[in-house]
């Protein structure tokens, strides 16, 4: 490909390079669009930690989770809950 550009005159080489660059940019943009469609935005879909903890508490009360499992989940979510509380205090 570089050999082809070397054979072209200066102006033709510049046009060819610009078209090649535009094609690569378009393909990269299309690739990013496809990836974003499949991945989605996890931040928009994420539930608040307090809601997740409430759901896990319900499961524990129904016997679907052991007390140990619930305590582990509660420990894992506690940092997120603190962040949510801090954020809500800053906004409010």
Q: Map out the domains of the chain as residue ranges.
A: 2-42, 47-91
pLDDT on residue 64: 92
**For the chain, which ranges sit under pLDDT 70?**
1-8, 40-45, 92
Q: Which long-range contacts (CB under 8 A, 24 or more apart) does 76-79 make?
A: 77/49, 77/52, 77/53
- Distance from the Cα of residue 35 to its chain's centroid: 10
pLDDT on residue 58: 95
pLDDT on residue 54: 92
């Amino acid at each position: 490909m570089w050999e082809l550009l070397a054979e072209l005159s200066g102006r033709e080489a510049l046009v060819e390079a610009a078209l090649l660059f535009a094609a690569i940019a378009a393909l990269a943009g299309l690739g990013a669009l496809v990836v974003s469609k499949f991945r989605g935005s996890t931040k928009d879909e994420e539930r608040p930690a307090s809601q997740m903890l409430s759901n896990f508490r319900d499961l524990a009360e129904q016997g679907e989770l052991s007390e140990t499992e619930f305590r582990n989940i509660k420990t894992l979510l506690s940092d997120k809950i603190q962040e949510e509380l801090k954020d809500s205090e800053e906004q409010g």
